Amino acid sequence: MRILIVEDDADISANLYDYLAARGHSVDAAPNGLVALHLATSQSFDAIVLDLGLPGIDGLTLAQRLRRDARLSVPILMLTARDTLDDKLAGFDAGADDYLVKPFALKEVEARLLALVKRAQGRVVDACLRLGELEYDPACGELRWRKIPLLLPPKAMQLLVTMLRQPGHLFSRNELEAAVWGEAQETSDALRTQLSQLRRALTLDDGRCPLVTVHGRGYKLVDPDD
């Protein structure tokens, strides 16, 4: 993992740095919020260990600026002193993902970081696919069209999810057949059948449909509300 340590206490920072580097991680350290802000926005990290009490920009403000201003979603593990329990809760509001109370075991820091990074990667993998009001949630396999769950035969579903991964992209017949059946079909009847099922399921009362045929070239998904 690439980890940024933000800690003004030189001993704690060095301990964290040495331990995490010895465990094979690539580590950077910042002694204050300003340096941290610069590093975090100019380089990419898998996780940030952030001390709450920092000179200049404190940990809460920094977390807020990373989330709200710099729009970074990098996981943040907040370090806090035992007597600042309320700050811990404020830390979550500011965008911290987890916290550890000082003094902490170095092993625990690494374990928490690994868990945060794993969770963050899971979030990316499980992100909903969306085009206007057409949504697919890979986590539960649910497809929703205008907020209503849509039940489709498996092949039609596969077809729609394939297209939903690249909204607006013009898919050729071969491309769609390869994505759903693994190879181009002898005849295009199977694809035509699935596409007409899809079109029926998606067409609105006023006739608009997100599935568009571009004659002679292929098919694409568009947001009919655009």
Q: Which residues bind Ca ion (CB under 5 A)?
A: 8, 51, 53
Strands, DSSP E only, in 9-133? Answer: 26-30, 47-51, 76-80, 98-101, 129-131
Nearest to 50 by CA among 12, 85, 107: 12
Q: How many CB atoms within 10 Å of residue 182?
A: 7
Residue number with CB closer to Ca ion (53 or 132): 53
Shortest distance (Å) from residue 164 CB to Ca ion: 46
Q: Which is nearer to Ca ion, 3 or 79 (CB)?
A: 79
By the 8 A CB rule, do 6 and 48 touch?
Answer: yes
Beta carbon of residue 102, minimum distance to Ca ion (angstroms, whole number): 9
Provide the token pair at 13. Answer: 């920072």
Task: Report, in Å, the least distance between residue 115 CB and Ca ion.
Answer: 24
Residue closer to Ca ion by CB (options 3, 150) is 3
Q: Shortest distance, CB of residue 36 to Ca ion, whole angstroms? A: 12
Instruction: Specify the residue, 109 or 117, whose C-beta has the smaller distance to Ca ion.
Output: 109
Q: Which is nearer to Ca ion, 8 or 28 (CB)?
A: 8
CB-neighbour burial class of residue 74 (10 A; exposed 0-12, middle 13-18, buried 19+): buried
Give me the least distance between CB of 221 and Ca ion, in Å please: 51
Q: Which residue's CB atom is positioned nearest to Ca ion?
A: 53
Bond before 75 cis per omega within 30 degrees:
no
Cα–Cα distance, 44 to 7 (Å, whole number): 18
> Residue 202 has which token pair?
């998606």
